[in-house]
Amino acid sequence: MARVASEPLNSRVPDGPIEQLWDRHRFNMKLVNPANKRKFRIIVVGTGLAGGAAAASLGELGYHVQAFCFQDSPRRAHSIAAQGGINAAKNYPNDGDSIWRLFYDTVKGGDYRAREANVYRLAQISNHIIDQCVAQGVPFAREYGGTLANRSFGGAQVSRTFYCRGQTGQQLLLGAYQAMMRQVQQGRVEVFARREMLELIVVDGLARGIVVRNMRTGQLETHTADAVVLCTGGYGNVFYLSTNAKGCNVTAAWRCCRRGAYFANPCYTQIHPTCIPVSGDYQSKLTLMSESLRNDGRVWVPKKAGDTRPPSEIPEDERDYYLERRYPSFGNLVPRDVASRAAKERCDAGYGVGETRLAVYLDFQDAIARDGVETIRRKYGNLFHMYQKITAENPYEVPMRIYPAVHYTMGGLWVDYNLMSTVPGLFVLGEANFSDHGANRLGASALMQGLSDGYFVIPYTIGDHLATASLPPVSEDHPACQEAVQAAEERLSRLMSVSGKRSVDSFHRALGQIMWDRCGMARNRSGLETAISEIRDLREQFWKDVRVPGSAGTLNQSLEKAGRVADFLEFAELLAIDALEREESCGGHFREEHQTEDGEARRNDEQFMHVAAWEFHGVGEEPTLHKEPLNFQYVPPTTRSYK
Amino acid sequence: MSGEHLSLTLRVWRQDGPEDPGRFETYQLDNVNPHMSFLEMLDVLNEQLIESGDEPVEFDHDCREGICGMCSLMINGQAHGPDRATTTCQLHMRRFRSGDTITIEPWRASAFPVVRDLVVDRSAFDRIIQAGGYVSVNTGNAPDGNAIPVPGTVQETAMDAAACIGCGACVAACKNASAMLFVSAKVSQLAMLPQGQAERTRRVLGMVTQMDEEGFGACTNTSECEAACPAEISVSHIARLNREYVRAALTAG
Amino acid sequence: MGSVSRILSLPARLLAQVPGLGPVVQAAATSVGQKILMAVTGFLLCGFLVTHLAGNLLLYAGEERFNHYAESLHSWGVVLNAAEAGLLALFLAHIGLAISTTAMNRQARRHRYAEKDSKQDPTAIPGGASSWMVVTGILIAFFLILHVTDMRLKMNPVVDYEAAVQDGTMSEFRAVHLVLTSYATSWGYVVGLIALGIHLSHGVRSAFQTLGISHPRWNGLLDIAGQLFAWVITLGFLSLVVLAALRSVS
């Protein structure tokens, strides 16, 4: 299925003790003279936590920044929907946390498939993020006395999560957005909203610009620059139903992959255990209920398969609190991958609840009895309200029904320690890269990574590139620009001219079904092989039978979706190939062939302790696998056990 | 679980572009599952339109969980539909009855020009934030988070204001298309926090001036914005903006 | 329009020349500034209403007391004229600001909704009278013209002042009585005063909010105080119309 490159991929992590790596590296990197900074133009694609933070910070440094987003305002990027919180090793609660422990937890939580040096840097920077956000006026929860409040989250044994009610992502994003708006006002950042990136412009091997479609007018625009920073989030919508926003897509990343950036670990997808179950085939997206609910809620199913009694009529001794049973020390707080698979296992075995039988209960009766309704309302009021709005059931009285859903993708474009991809000058930050979470991401660490990359890593590493690369001016009529525009144009007109019968959404749904059934929470060889051939068939049908109404010269949401789905149809195949190639179970990637007798994931460190970075050669062509070996010098791999 | 399916008549505003005068089109939609969200109902309508060779209705939406602020829609004359504290994406069809006629219009305000169909341009809000809705602190300049204590109660009120999702329902619902609730939410959040003190005067004057330049109306204290706000921002923040404004007018440079 | 607004803004431009007032005048020009000025002028006008009612309640005390009050007021001479000019300026400013903000509001939504419905609880709307502000404001303006014409200028054509002048019984008390017992005029007063009540019932409460006087603990009380003020003033004045009618019957 895949060619394997003989040379290992070099992550360019500097040598030295891990505690000093980042400091030394910052010293060793070249600086750009302050007077020269304004001569450099930097493109930032995506304005979520990573992109917003990067655009603001780079603007503050004096660079000329152009920021692009497909939404109508940069404030709407999907980081806004993150609920739970953001981790930092502040150790304010004095409960034993440290940079080292956050580092250790993240490497272990990632099931030993992350790059140690990156994770350590992330843990170091985590504290600065909190300080920066507080200074911006982000209203983090406080104790009455005025100090910052923390809670424990996502299975951590310490309380290191900072939060703003159930809207932490919103507040952090607005902080970054406001910082960026300040730079707009000062003339250092230009915002281009309602623009979709369709091509990367590569000149002499360096990323030098992008082609975007102005979604209001349909015009294609060429923007050239000295570096391109991609902050375009994850690819969870390849599953159609996910907790991602409807607009989230892989297009920008995939276009870069087609231009030579390697795509790493696409099979690492995170399924979040606490989402509201699917209710019908019209469903357009899934809604996440914050993981913090598991701090007080107890997960259970009936002990008898196919029990259709309402939950209130099932007595205590006929309930199976299966997480507490299987994982006595972590109980309901096991990491996301473990909790999700356990729910799937129960439902597959016939113990599921609700109309579709694809749900488990998350019950707050004990917590309400212990702490009182008011306490629970204060902690989770907005989540309970949201649940009730969607399901018309009152979770104060009836247990919630939850089921896992695709939530986050750990895979992404491969980057080195400087967050630069295999196309020099193309940097990739946040969820769009692969670097910090390994095979599974812990709760409250996505926000941390996005902001770390944007506020505190890229401002240093991009300078090194700009100071060392040869960057002659590139004008819009450079052959590489013209070629990129032409490629984008051809693709759009091809989409418009199929004039078939099926809507774009129907193809997206069909793709999602394939991915969820065969490439979802549990995968196996034959399923993946089937998936690959089904994806190819679907792709062929798409280009024969898709119908994109309207014209390319106006706002046309069908055309936008068509372009994204076309890219998902190419990318999905790579995801399946990667899942097939990785003959082990780790984190979010569970291969049924590789499990212990009691159904736990079994890693294969001998053969798979590496990053799988894929080089694309063309649709239907065999991609080349480049391996970046991983060394665990500081956190020796063990079997992840939460029992 | 699944109740009766609904048959609905939809009166939808269609407008080909900013210059087009626009018109209402009427569509019949049967078999609507009451558990659908309002936007899922529009998805179904669009599938039906595409199938019959028509152009689908363009409408803004993204997160579909009530936080991104992208969805809008005047539904039977009410911003985000009949429910309080709800965005259109959180509105479910069980709220309607079979046989209902539902009128769907875009937000209407001179400062929010229609782009196409139900999609409007809300970039005026970005420009208002640019006029001062931030704390000027460069990355790397921050002291330790706990060096700036903020009493829990103050933080709570600041968070109430900060919860604004920037959807524009306040403007849409206001008889004067005033943006005061939006502007006051940001002014109030930052005026309450110690971090916002340094720029307090400049912020309120700058943001209000920009609000006027964008062509929003004046506030007549009818509180319609508060009722329409999906994030339940209180008009008490408008009062705080007014206080800030008086203070700034009397002390500014 | 340009020259009109230049003339209208003349007082503002003159004020801006006063040392220290420049930035204040500039700040007063925005929508928020104008609303604050409306609230301030509104409150000052309320102050006038209170003193005016207090004086007029002397009608209950009888002809002698009331005439004495009127005479002592008139004895102020130039001071009274200055106060009247000030009052007129307040009214004109209040009305001018109303015209200016209303124009702004009309401009802000040029394309109206085909359908528009409130999301407020219809039983508990503190701002319920707000949509009537323009209408009641116009009614009050007409009422003011009527009131000044028949009380101050004593030129109301439907009131027969002549008879009283002829028989030498003319006094302020007599004039008030004649005006309030004229059928058409008294109905004009009733309508005008009810309009005033409605205007105040939103205006007072709204002015508190516009001046930033708001606190979750006190807002309920402010609501009540606003309504109470509006209707005490209105009923106070209305009672004088009723009083005149009763006196004429007896």
Residue-wise pLDDT tens digits, B69-97: 999 999 999 999 999 999 999 999 999 99
Concatenate the DSSP letters of all residues of A142-177 into one string.
B-TTSPBP-B--TT-SS--EE-STT-HHHHHHHHHH
Asked if A392 and B189 come within 8 Å (Cβ–Cβ), the reply is no
| pLDDT tens by residue, B27-66 | 999 999 999 999 999 999 999 999 999 999 999 999 999 9
Closest listed residue to residue C185, CA positions, set C172, C176, C194:
C176
Concatenate the DSSP letters of all residues of A444-499 into one string.
T-HHHHHHIIIIIIHHHHHHHHHHHS------TTSHHHHHHHHHHHHHHHHHHH--
Looking at residue C124, its pLDDT comes to 62
Dihedral pair phi/psi, residue A4, rounded to 5°: -115, 125
Looking at residue C125, its pLDDT comes to 55
Instruction: For residue C151, count CB atoms less than 10 angstroms from its CB and return exposed for 0-12, middle for 13-18, buried for 19 or more.
Output: middle
Looking at residue A642, its pLDDT comes to 77
**Chain A CA closest to residue B94:** A392
Put simply, whether C216 touches B (Cβ < 8 Å) is: yes
Beta bridge partners of A390: none
Confidence bin at C52 (pLDDT 50/70/90): very high
Residues 6+ apart with CB under 8 A from C128: C202
| pLDDT tens by residue, C140-191 | 999 999 999 999 899 988 888 988 889 888 999 999 999 999 999 999 999 9
A557 contact residues in B (CB cutoff 8 A): 56, 58
Identify each DSSP E strand in A216-304 by its residue range.
220-224, 227-230, 263-264, 269-275, 298-302
CA-based nearest distance C175→chain B, Å: 39
Residue the block writes with tokens 């009166």: B11
Looking at residue C129, its pLDDT comes to 65
Partner residue facing A146 (CB), from B115, B119, B152: B152
Angstrom distance (rounded) from CA A524 to CA A106? 27
Asked if C32 and B208 come within 8 Å (Cβ–Cβ), the reply is yes
Looking at residue C1, its pLDDT comes to 47
In this structure, are residues A180 and A172 in contact, taking their beta carbons and an 8 Å threshold?
A: no
CA-based nearest distance C206→chain B, Å: 6
To the question of domain B6-115 being in CATH 3.10.20.30, the answer is: yes
Least confident of A96-105, A281-290, A582-591, B12-21: A281-290
Q: Where are the alpha helices (DSSP H) in A546-624?
A: 557-581, 605-608
Helix (H, G, I), strand (E, B) or coil at A79: helix
B139 contact residues in A (CB cutoff 8 A): 53, 56-57, 60, 132, 179, 455-456, 459
CA-based nearest distance B147→chain A, Å: 9
In this structure, are residues A208 and A226 in contact, taking their beta carbons and an 8 Å threshold?
A: yes
Instruction: For residue B199, count CB atoms less than 10 angstroms from its CB and return exposed for 0-12, middle for 13-18, buried for 19 or more.
Output: middle
Asked if C105 and B240 come within 8 Å (Cβ–Cβ), the reply is no
| pLDDT tens by residue, B136-191 | 999 999 999 999 999 999 999 999 999 999 999 999 999 999 999 999 999 999 99
In this structure, are residues A84 and A444 in contact, taking their beta carbons and an 8 Å threshold?
A: yes
C residues 40..69 contacting B (CB < 8 A): none
Looking at residue B3, its pLDDT comes to 59
Asked if B165 and A135 come within 8 Å (Cβ–Cβ), the reply is no
| pLDDT tens by residue, A347-370 | 999 999 998 899 999 999 999 999
**Mean local confidence (pLDDT), C228-244:** 96
User: What tokens were used for A612?
Assistant: 């799988």
User: What tokens were used for B84?
Assistant: 């309080």
Inform me whether the pLDDT recorded for A64 exceeds 80. yes
Distance, first Cα to last Cα, chain C: 56
Asked if A139 and B133 come within 8 Å (Cβ–Cβ), the reply is no
Put simply, whether A143 touches B (Cβ < 8 Å) is: yes
Looking at residue A140, its pLDDT comes to 97
Inform me whether the pLDDT recorded for A256 exceeds 70. yes
CA-based nearest distance B40→chain C, Å: 23
Please provide the average confidence, as pLDDT, over all residues in chain A: 96
Task: Name the residue with higher pLDDT: A315 or C124.
Answer: A315
Tell me the domains of chain A and their CATH numbers. Answer: 272-406 (3.90.700.10), 479-616 (1.20.58.100)
| pLDDT tens by residue, A449-499 | 999 999 999 999 999 999 999 999 999 999 999 999 999 999 999 999 999
Residue ranges of domains in chain B: 6-115, 123-252
Helix (H) or strand (E) holding C236: helix C219-249
**Chain B CA closest to residue C99:** B218
Angstrom distance (rounded) from CA B36 to CA B61? 15
B residues 166..205 contacting A (CB < 8 A): 166, 189-190, 193, 195-196
Asked if C112 and B78 come within 8 Å (Cβ–Cβ), the reply is no
Put simply, whether B216 touches C (Cβ < 8 Å) is: yes
Closest listed residue to residue B169, CA positions, set B230, B223, B218, B114:
B230
Phi-psi map region of A600: left, alpha, beta (phi>0 left; psi -120 to 50 alpha):
beta
Put simply, whether A36 touches B (Cβ < 8 Å) is: no
**Mean local confidence (pLDDT), B18-25:** 97
**Mean local confidence (pLDDT), B226-240:** 97
Inform me whether the pLDDT recorded for A410 exceeds 80. yes
CA-based nearest distance B146→chain C, Å: 29
**Mean local confidence (pLDDT), A306-316:** 94
Looking at residue A572, its pLDDT comes to 98
> To probe the interface with B, which of C31, C201, C206 has the most B CB atoms within 10 Å?
C31
Helix (H, G, I), strand (E, B) or coil at B55: coil
Put simply, whether B24 touches C (Cβ < 8 Å) is: yes
Inform me whether the pLDDT recorded for A565 exceeds 50. yes
| pLDDT tens by residue, A503-555 | 999 999 999 999 999 999 999 999 999 999 999 999 999 999 999 999 999 99
Angstrom distance (rounded) from CA A246 to CA B46? 15
Instruction: For residue C87, count CB atoms less than 10 angstroms from its CB and return exposed for 0-12, middle for 13-18, buried for 19 or more.
Output: middle
B245 contact residues in C (CB cutoff 8 A): 27, 32-33, 36, 212
Cα-trace Rg, chain C: 21
Q: Where are the alpha helices (DSSP H) in A317-432?
A: 322-326, 336-348, 365-371, 373-391
Helix (H, G, I), strand (E, B) or coil at B67: coil
Put simply, whether B243 touches C (Cβ < 8 Å) is: yes
Q: What is the ipTM, given to two decimal places? A: 0.98
**Fold (CATH) for B123-252:** Fumarate Reductase Iron-sulfur Protein; Chain B, domain 2 (1.10.1060)
Inform me whether the pLDDT recorded for B235 exceeds 90. yes
Q: Where are the alpha helices (DSSP H) in B24-143?
A: 38-51, 123-130
User: What tokens were used for A358?
Assistant: 């694809």
Looking at residue C35, its pLDDT comes to 97
